[in-house]
Structures are given as structure tokens and as C-alpha cells.
Chains A and B, each alone.
Chain A
Amino acid sequence: MEELCLSDAQKKHKYKLVKINISNEKLKNYYMNLGFRCGEEIEVITSNYGKKSYMIRVMGILYAMDKNLCEKFIVESE
């Protein structure tokens, strides 16, 4: 299955989180505690003006996340 960045994911399609490209372990752990754990279902709901941030859904919860951060999350289609 093809892996892609969360920022390239199609809207309203469901993906599986496979990797978090963050070297800082503390920060990586922080996002994992927010629900961004490998294997979790993840979905891009919408984007804002200029597509600078995306509204995504993980563990059923909605988050607003900027594009730079989205690029660090690698997903694959379910």
C-alpha cells in the first residue's frame, strides 16, 4: 500500500497512521498522547484559507493542525 504525508491525503478518505517523522522523543510522545498512535484511523475533514492548516480527526477527536506538522505524519489508505 502507498504511503503518503497527511498533508497529501484526500479529504473525507480514511487512512491508517503508520509513522511519525519526529526525532525529538519527548515531542513524539506528546503527539502520541494526543491520540496520534501508529495504527490509529485518521481522516482529513477540511482545510482553512490558503490550505495552511487542516482539520483532521483521530481517535474520533477533531484537531486543527498546520501543514508543516501534517507533513510529519505518514499514513496509508485503509
Chain B
Amino acid sequence: MNNIILVGNPNTGKTTLFNTMTNSNRKASNWHGVTVDVVSKKYKYGGEEYNVADIPGIYSLSSNSKEEEIASKYLCEHKGDLIVNICDSNNLKRNLILTLELLKQNYNVIIVVNMSGENKSYDLIKLSKLLKIEIYEIDARKKKSIDKLKNNINKYLKNKKTQNSSKIIENQLKFGNLDEIIKIIKKDNIFDSYKKTIKADKIILNKFLFLPIFLLVIFSVFFITFGPVGNFVLGIVEWLLSKFFGLISSAILKLNISQVVARFLIDGVFGSAITVLSFVPQIVILMFFLNLLEDTGYMSRVAFMFDGVLKKFGLNGKSLFSLMMGFGCTTSAVMTTRNLPSKNLRKRTALLLPFMSCTAKLPIFLVISSLFFEKYKFLFVFLLYIFAILISLIFSAVYKRFIPDEKTDFILEMPKYRIPNLKKVTMDSLSTIKEFLIKVGSLILLFTSIAWVLQNFSVSFKFLNGENFSQSILYFISSKLTFLFNCIGLGNAGTISAILLGLVAKELIVVGLCLINGVTGSISLLSESLILESSICHFSPISSMVFLVFILLYSPCISAIISIKNEFGTKTALYVFFAQFALSFAVSFLVYRIFLNPKLIYFVVGAIILDIVVQLVIKFGYKKNNKWGRCNECMSPYCKQKSKVVSKDS
């Protein structure tokens, strides 16, 4: 078997090439550092078997971040039969720096120039002769182009085995420095492929236009997803699923099986699965637009513009990519923090990820918003996201104090604006859904079954047939916690059961509510059941708001906690679990009390304003007179003993 390693600068199209070569669907995007680990897959061509490894992008063999360290380490440990060095035709000069390093290290290298149609400023035939290595022009997105590359690799490796390897290395080392090479291969007309990007940036990055454009873009995404378009698609899918559920239920009832098994299959298995499936359209639409934005290159601009603001909160522009990924799935977003330059920055970013509402929380937002805000559902969900972001910023400022800043330099390559590849964007969105459905099919099905058993059997293990919930095991467990949840207005055993299920996976919250209320197949049916006082789990307008705030902020699911443990250790993982739970409880308590006594809002706002004023006075006085530094002994900014006061510079 031949081992091929794909090596190149970040954002040159390595993962796109890997996907086309091996028929995979790994996440690739128009920004730096999407790939953070090594993945390999096999393919067969011309009777030979090949193993292709996709490693994170590197600028050189020496590393500057964790993901580059992974790539450099992999290259040190695996020489591979062939290194496929991917270069972007638009940045060929910079890309060749790595190529020369690889050649100096005696790797068996071929160059593939991606997006070669976009920029023909360099003579690749001359370059090939100069470096004595094979160069192929490709378009990583096109299968035809990659089939040709596979054929070339096949021929190249067969010929290579018959050649004298020492002679090849000797030939490869006969090159001059980069500038000399560029001088020789440069054509008369250098095409500036960034010209249009710079023109577009004049408008997009304009200080007065950036923020309105950004808000308009994000608002439009939410409007389309949760507004008329999303609702229309949702209606069709709901109708289809309810028909399907009706057919399945009647088919199961006709089977000659016991009532317990029949109810388990109808309510526990199919009913729960169909309820979760009915949220798929809106998740697809949301992920489609977020992927579309990534693919255009716009998100890198957002990272750049907000870098200064994020720095005030102890983050930097690069953190924004991980935070954006958090809106999809917290588990994978934790891994993307690897491309951040310092350990503490990684930790601070990861600690904020549970605040970014993942797609699994979306179903519950939709159900509750359908209860009271059907017409302005998109606005309501939008405001929920904003609320979570604001809370995360407050906590970010807190973490900045407790997890000190290491001096890190922020540098980020800005990709060119591109017309998004709709096929790729659709595939990425469907891939998110695939992961969602696999989760539904495995973990959720398992826990739904457990939840169904807990709900349908009494403590003495007698089958309750969906009746007498107050005698069930689930009620028994939940009722032990009602004293705790009573103070936030969620003392209902059904609601507590749903919250407990959500600790395993957030998708289980809606499934749990359906099981408890005996509703299946439709968001509207579930919403209706939640306002009926006769339902086991029901909400008043106040308790529904508190429930939403609680779900928005509480502990992430088990897989996210495991991911945090793997990246940052057990202590951090336990902290995230308990701190998020405590925080959600505290904020829910505050929200509940404000709803009960609206005058309390004046007190809260007053306290916030007072805090801001005190902070400003300290900062202003400190800056102006440089005498309000903190005392070495009592740490107070108000200490009168000037000799003890530490100046800012010292």
C-alpha cells in the first residue's frame, strides 16, 4: 500500500482534495485552521491501494500552534511514500517556502497547484524543470481533475520505484533561493487575484458600514430560517411525518405483539424519533446559511473587525471561529480551539463555548417560541442567541481576570472572497444533519428507551401504560429535586425530568417533553400540550421563559464535557459542568424574580450602572493621576498609603 500525505499552507484546499480523492465529506471552509487533526482514508486506483492522510495546514515545518505541532509531528514520524504539496495558485510564492523546506528534508514531493485556472502568473513548467519535481494543475473540487491526478500519482509512484532515489534527491537539491526561482518563473503580466477582494473590503470593512452590514446579514439568516421560509418547509415536513407516523402506528397495532412492546415502539421509538426529525428542516436551513457565510470568506473579516472588541474580553479574533462553530456543535467546537496560539486563550475560549447555543437546543427554542410568539418566532430566537452572547461576554471578562493573559500575537490570513460552492455548502449542511441523525439513532434512542421505561413503569415495576405519571420511577426521581427547582418556578416533576434528560444530550429535552405529555409527531401538538394545565408538563408564560433561560445556559451535554476533559483535563470539565449549572440556576432565579416583581428590574439595572460608573471612575482616576493603582498589601484601589501603591508601569 502507498502512503500519501497531503501537506500545504492553511486554506489551500487540502481537505477539499482529500474529500474528492477519498469520496469523504470532511468539513472544509474558506478560512484558516478548519482542520485540527490528522485523518486518513484509503482509496483504490489502477489495482493499487493508497492511504491518504489529511493533516492540518502549516506554513513551515516548525510549529507555532497546537494544530501545526500535530502536523509537524506527523511529518517527522511518517515520511510517507509521497508528499502531495498543495499550493494555491494565487499565493504560489509564499507556498513555495514550505515546498523548499520539504525538499531540503528529503521528502519525496510532488506539487499540485490548486485553483490553477484563477491565476496564471507563473510558468509552472519552468518551475518543474528548476526543482526537478512533478507539478500538476488541479481544481480540488472537480472529480474529473482529481481522477487525472490519481492517474498521475499512480504512474509517478510506479516510475519512482524503478529510479535511483539518491539521484532524485541530488537533483532536487540543485535549486537556488526563493527569489531567484520566482524571478525565473514569473511571467510578464502578474495577475493580482486580490484586486476584487480589496475593492469589496473597501465597502465591507468600512467603519460605518461594517456593523449595519453584519447585523443585516445575521438578522436575514434568522429571518429566513425561522420566518416564513422556514415555517413553510417545516409545515410540509411535519405533514409528511405525521402521515408516516400514522401508517407506522397502525401497522404496529396490527402486529400480534404485547401492549407493552407496541406502546414502546410507537411512543418510545418512532414517536420520539419523528418528533426530533421534524426539527431537521430548520437546522438544515440555519447550517446552510452559516456554511454559506464561511465559504464566501466573510467570517474572517468579522474576526478581524471584532478583534479589538474581543481583546477587551480576553479573547482574540481567532476565537470567533471556535465560537461560531459552537452554534453548530459544542463538542467539535472545543477541538477547533487547538488553532489558538496560547493555552490560556484556548481555555478561555473553550469555557465560553457552552454559551453558544448549539443546534440541539434549537428544537426547544422553537417549541417554546411557538407557544407565545408564533408571529415573531425568528425575532424571539434571535434575541435568545444575543442574550446568550451577552452573558458569555460578561463571563469572558471574568475569566480574563482569573485565567491570566499570555502575550500572544494575533495574525490571521484573510482569504479571498469567493462565490460559495453551493454543492459543498449543501453537503456540509447535510453532514451536520447526518451527525445529528446518527446521534438521534444511537445515543438518543438508547436514552429515550430508558426514559420511556422510567416513565411507564412504577417504582414496584408495574406497567403504567402512559397513565399515572405520578407513580412512575421518573416522577419519583424528579420529585426529589422539586424543592430545588421550586425557587425558579420549575418545580414541575415533568419539567425536571426533561432537564435531567438534557444533561445527556440536548436533543432529549424535546423527546422527554413528548414522552411525558404523550404527544408525538408535531411541534404544534407539543406546543399546545405545554400550555394545557391538564398536561403533566405544562408552562405558564413566566415559567416557559425561565425554562428557556435555564436550557440556554445550563451544562453542556456529556460528549461536550468529555471533549473538554480530553483537551483541558478533568478539573476544567467538572468546572464547566457545575459552573454552567449554577450559572443557569442563578440567572433563571433572577429572571423568575424579575417576572414576578417587575420593579426588581430597576434594582438590577441600577446595580449594573453603578458597577460601570465605579469601574470608569477607577480607570479614569488611575489613568489621569496614576495614583489609584492597587495596593500591594490590601489590593485596594482606594488605599491611601501612596508608598504601597503600585504604578501601572511597574
Contact = CB atoms under 8 A, between A and B. Distances in A.
Contact of B305 (A29, A49, A59, A65): A49
Contacts of B91: 59-61
Q: Chain A contact residues (Cβ within 8 angstroms of B): what range?
A: 20 to 34
A4 interface: no
B98 A33 contact: yes
A64 B62 contact: no
Given A64-B410, A69-B411, A53 B308 contact: yes
B305 A48 contact: yes
Contacts of B148: none
A59 B88 CA distance: 13
Residue from A39, A52, A63 whose CB has the most chain B CB atoms within 10 Å: A52
A27 B300 CA distance: 23
Contact of A35 (B97, B198, B414): B97
Nearest to B100: A33
B94 A63 contact: no
A64 B300 contact: yes
A42 to B, nearest CB: 13
B587 interface: no
Contacts of B77: none
A68 B101 CA distance: 29
A34 B90 CA distance: 14
Contacts of B411: 31, 34, 63-66, 69
Contact of A63 (B97, B303, B413): B413
A68 B304 CA distance: 15
Interface in A27-78: 27, 29-35, 39, 45-46, 48-53, 55, 57, 59-66, 68-69
A52 B207 CA distance: 13
A48 B60 contact: no
Nearest to B179: A39
A59 B300 CA distance: 19
Contacts of B303: 64
Given A46-B201, A59-B91, A65-B410, A33 B194 contact: no
B192 A30 contact: no
Contacts of B97: 32-33, 35
A26 B60 CA distance: 10
B59 A53 contact: no
A60 to B, nearest CB: 6
Nearest to A53: B307
Contacts of B407: 68
A64 B318 CA distance: 10
Contacts of A30: 59-60, 62, 64
B97 to A, nearest CB: 5
A1 to B, nearest CB: 21
A35 B94 contact: yes
A4 B209 CA distance: 31
Interface residues of B, number: 40
B601 interface: no
Given A35-B93, A57-B194, A64 B304 contact: yes
B414 A63 contact: yes
A8 B407 CA distance: 21
A43 to B, nearest CB: 10
Contacts of A57: 194, 198
Given A50-B308, A64-B304, A64-B307, A59 B410 contact: no
Residue from B64, B94, B317, B413 whose CB has the most chain A CB atoms within 10 Å: B94
B317 A69 contact: no
B533 interface: no
Interface in B184-219: 192-194, 197-198, 201-202, 205, 207, 210
Contacts of A46: 201-202, 205
B529 interface: no
Interface string B465-478: 00000000000000
Given A53-B304, A69-B410, A69-B411, A62 B197 contact: yes
A62 B414 contact: yes
Contacts of B60: 29-30, 33
B62 A29 contact: yes
A59 B93 contact: yes
A52 B313 CA distance: 14
Given A53-B308, A60-B192, A66-B409, A34 B207 contact: no
Contacts of B300: 64
Nearest to A22: B409
B309 A61 contact: no
Given A35-B97, A45-B198, A55-B304, A68 B413 contact: no
Nearest to B412: A64
Residue from A26, A31, A64 whose CB has the most chain B CB atoms within 10 Å: A64
A26 B69 CA distance: 13
Nearest to B407: A68
Given A30-B64, A48-B304, A55 B414 contact: yes
Given A33-B98, A34-B59, A65-B411, A49 B308 contact: yes
A59 B94 CA distance: 7
Given A29-B62, A33-B59, A61-B94, A52 B311 contact: yes
A5 B59 CA distance: 24
Interface in A1-32: 26-27, 29-32
B317 A53 contact: yes
A64 to B, nearest CB: 4
Contacts of B304: 48, 53, 55, 64
Nearest to A54: B304
Nearest to B93: A59
Nearest to B101: A33
Q: Would you list the 9 A-B pairs with minimal beta carbon distance, nearest first?
A: A52-B308, A33-B60, A62-B414, A64-B304, A66-B410, A50-B308, A69-B409, A33-B59, A64-B412
Given A30-B59, A49-B308, A49-B309, 17 more contacts: A26-B64, A31-B411, A32-B97, A34-B411, A35-B97, A39-B179, A52-B308, A52-B311, A53-B307, A55-B205, A57-B194, A60-B93, A62-B413, A63-B412, A64-B307, A66-B311, A66-B410
Interface of B: 59-60, 62, 64, 90-91, 93-94, 97-98, 101, 179, 192-194, 197-198, 201-202, 205, 207, 210, 300, 303-309, 311, 316-317, 407, 409-414
10 contacts: A39-B179, A46-B202, A48-B306, A50-B309, A53-B307, A59-B93, A60-B90, A63-B411, A63-B414, A64-B414
